[in-house]
Amino acid sequence: MIVLGIEGTAHTISAGIVDETRIISNSSSTYIPLNGGIHPREAAIHHADKIMEVIHNAFEESGLNPEDIDLVSFSKGPGLGPCLRIAATASRAFSLRYKIPIIGVNHPLGHVEIGRKLSGAKDPIMLYISGGNTQIIAHEFGKYRVLGETMDIGLGNMLDKFARDANIPFPGGPVIEKLALSGKKLLKLPYSVKGMDTSFSGIYTAAKYYLNQGEKMEDISHSIQEYSFSMVIEVLERALYYTNKNEILLAGGVARNDRLRSMVLSMAEESGYKAYLTDKKYCMDNGAMIAQAGMLLYENGERDSIMDTKINQKYRIDEVNVPWINSGKHEIIKNRGAESYIRTSTFFGRKIIIKDRLIKGYRNKKLDLLLRKERTRNEFLILYNLYGLDIPVPVVYDYDKYKNTLKLEYIYGPTLNELILKNGNIEYYLDIIAKTVAKMHKNRISHGDLTPNNFIISDRLYIIDPSLGRIKCEDEDIADDVFLLSDSLNNLYGNQKLSRIFLSKYSEYNENYQHIFEIVKEIKARRRYV
């Protein structure tokens, strides 16, 4: 099967041709604004002017004729409306002219599938970073699920915004990368990770402040990269731990950055994962990736009529059925978390676990030490406070602030995650979880990483690892907890019923639930494409 793909979601208009085994050709033209960021209508004018040229170049490079094409696919969304319409219109015209099928493609799906085609990855977790997107994506229960994403702006967008403030022309990321190589001083920036999600607006604001204060551009660029890249790799590793997958795929425009690529490889080597880096040429938006995704959709029974080809600016990857991936069950890792190594010992005759905060070689040493110290201390304080409220948590026997270790009571029993994966009846436990979490929240304590891996079912239901939580927390922190648990129940197990039960039970135990649920809706709306 030979497929023509046309990409036009943002700054690039591109046409690519693929078959089942290879990329036959690809041609692109990128709109570069004279000043500021992407202007959607000006970009669309550029695309309209260049679309015939890139299609012609793709066919010339391939040696094929339009009559050789079996299917035309186009980027249906997400993206900028005026740009999407150019790609869609050209594809419809091609389909009607040559009487061949047409199919609309989700843009992130294209990045995933071209990465898999080129790398040989089978069932990876993808770190997808571009101007408009920052997402952790994994295949579970017939679809690619978004396990975590930015709550405000994409990482690439943040880099470009800061670049404009520093009078760096678009695209700003490559210039920031070059400046960062000479940076020596690590400036303190907000490190905003909430469970599986990230936020970059705080980094942008702080970096702009340092710029106005006269700090060296090299040091600001270095600090921006170290903080923001560490954040996304942390949530990537957490997703690997939660899903028990063992492959990583890095893709998207920002994935061309050599510092980011080296950090992903370092994390994978440290933790025993396989890392696949999409070829730099195909990290950027391209028609070949749209052709590849379109071919897979068509081969697996998807069909569009011309009337089905309306663009969708908020088209999410988790709306697409993906039956061609076989998500196997992977062995559950028992002796470590994403950030810690767990070992058993004894303490005055009691069986305990010793939790060591792992040094992360991919992170800047200064930043790594700061995070390990803060999180070890935070976990100790929150567990101490929860224990005082008679909320079941492991007893802390010792806290070593110099080695960043905790000695904790050993709790026998499976995690909630293990119980769900074994198809256990967990409705009873969801009631207890909702009651326990509501009590924690009433006392203004948040967990910060409230997922099924952080509950242990024993003689009672225990909460573990609240190192990302807060004491005297705000309503926003409480809503983050509720959102993270309900969202992980949906995405990790493909079971909306579990999420509904938890939310229903939580509303029974927290009289302030309506206000919290309103904030949860706001949090959902902040995701890049909802």
Domain ranges of the chain: 3-106+285-311, 125-244, 340-526
Taking Cα atoms as reference points, which of 373, 376, 435 lies closest to residue 408?
A: 376
**17, 288 contact by CB (below 8 A):** yes
Query: What's the pLDDT at 284?
Result: 93
> Which residues, including other chains, have CB under 8 Å from residue 379's CB and lie 6 or more apart?
406, 465, 466, 467
**33, 39 contact by CB (below 8 A):** yes
DSSP single-letter state for residue 436: H
Q: What does the block give as tokens for 245?
A: 């997958």
Q: For tokens 């150019």, what's the residue?
A: 86
Positions in the chain short of pLDDT 50: 530
CATH architecture type of domain 340-526: Orthogonal Bundle (1.10)
**484, 198 contact by CB (below 8 A):** no
Q: Return d(Cα 250, Cα 374) in angstroms, integer.
A: 29
* 244-263 as b/e: b if 16+ CB within 10 A: ebbbbbbbbbbbbbeebbeb
**Which ranges of 217-321 would DSSP assign to H, the alpha helix?**
217-243, 258-271, 287-299
Q: Render pLDDT for 91-123 as a digit per residue (tens, 0 to 9).
A: 999 999 999 999 999 999 999 999 999 999 999
Q: What does the block give as tokens for 321?
A: 């059925």
Angle between helices 40-62 and 81-98 (to 10 degrees): 40
Burial of 139 (0-12, 13-18, 19+ CB in 10 A): buried
Q: Return d(Cα 87, Cα 106) in angstroms, integer.
A: 13
Q: Return d(Cα 479, Cα 517) in angstroms, integer.
A: 7
Separation of CA 125 from chain center = 9
The reply to whether 318 belongs to the active site is no
- Catalytic residue, from 285, 449, 481, 487: name it: 449
Q: Return d(Cα 460, Cα 441) in angstroms, integer.
A: 19
**134, 150 contact by CB (below 8 A):** yes
Which numeric CATH code is attached to 125-244?
Answer: 3.30.420.40
Query: What's the pLDDT at 7?
Result: 98
Cis preceding-peptide flag for 78 (omega within 30 of 0): yes
Q: Give the pairing type, strands 193-194 and 461-463.
A: unpaired
Q: What does the block give as tokens for 512?
A: 């302030």
Examine domains 3-106+285-311 and 125-244 and report if their fold is the same. yes
Q: Return d(Cα 115, Cα 436) in angstroms, integer.
A: 42
A 10 A CB-CB count for 176 gives: 25
Q: CA torsion angle for 486, 490, 493, 498 (degrees, to 10)?
A: 60
Query: What's the pLDDT at 242?
Result: 84
> Which residues, including other chains, have CB under 8 Å from residue 74's CB and lie 6 or more apart?
5, 6, 7, 8, 87, 88, 90, 91, 102, 104, 105, 290, 294, 309
Q: Return d(Cα 519, Cα 467) in angstroms, integer.
A: 22
Query: What's the pLDDT at 530?
Result: 47
Q: What does the block give as tokens for 143?
A: 């679809």
AA identity, residue 102? I
Q: Render pLDDT for 492-523 as a digit per residue (tens, 0 to 9).
A: 776 788 999 999 999 999 999 999 999 999 98
**201, 153 contact by CB (below 8 A):** yes
Query: What's the pLDDT at 169?
Result: 86
**343, 105 contact by CB (below 8 A):** no
A 10 A CB-CB count for 17 gives: 26
Concatenated DSSP letters for 23-38?
EEEEEEEE---SSSS-
**207, 255 contact by CB (below 8 A):** no
Q: Return d(Cα 413, Cα 489) in angstroms, integer.
A: 20
| Cα R_g (the chain), whole angstroms | 24
The three-point CA angle 307-309-311 to 5° equals: 130
Query: What's the pLDDT at 528?
Result: 59
DSSP single-letter state for residue 304: B
The three-point CA angle 275-10-79 to 5° equals: 85
Separation of CA 359 from chain center = 23
A 10 A CB-CB count for 163 gives: 21
Of 3.40.1440.10, 3.30.70.360, 3.20.20.70, 3.30.420.40, which CATH number belongs to 3-106+285-311? 3.30.420.40
Q: For tokens 């992130």, what's the residue?
A: 108
In percent, the amount of the chain with pLDDT more than 70 equals 97
Taking Cα atoms as reference points, which of 472, 387, 491 lies closest to residue 141?
A: 491
